Amino acid sequence: MKSLLAAFVTLSLAVGTAYAECSYPKAPDKIPDGNTATLEEMVAAQTAVKNYDKEINAYTDCIKLEYDSEMAKDGATYSDAKKKAMEKRQIQKTNAAVDEDQQVAARFNEQLKAYKAKAAAKKS
């Protein structure tokens, strides 16, 4: 695992300023309605949301690594304004990704709550 990470870091350093290398993950297509969903649909949605969270974490790690690589490679030649602008862009990308991740999780949790309420009502 460590050798894979080292290879990724080395490759990323060699790539340089390729901000396009970090692919923004696609959110799950559908979160089922908890009032009508089956257990299988809810489990599949939960898996999709968890996978999306992992992909968002990988994306934010990637953009941080790209930023750090750029600063290590050419940062000394950049003006303070350019450094601040690049840092701001990296932070904005990270915040937007985390916000979307949280929104997806919140939508799923809302439907999960509805599903559990439906299941509890059936037991009564």
In total, how many domains does the chain have? 1
Q: Does the predicted model carry a pTM greater than 0.85?
A: no
Tens-digit pLDDT profile for the chain (124 aa)? Answer: 455 444 444 444 444 444 458 999 999 999 999 999 999 999 999 999 999 999 999 999 999 999 999 999 999 999 999 999 999 999 999 999 999 999 999 999 999 999 999 989 988 7
Full residue range of the structural domain in which residue 37 is found: 2-123
Confirm if 34 and 118 have CB atoms less than 8 A apart.
yes
Confirm if 45 and 30 have CB atoms less than 8 A apart.
yes
Largest CA distance in the chain: 69
Residue with tokens 């940062």: 75
Give me the percent of the chain exceeding a pLDDT of 70. Answer: 84
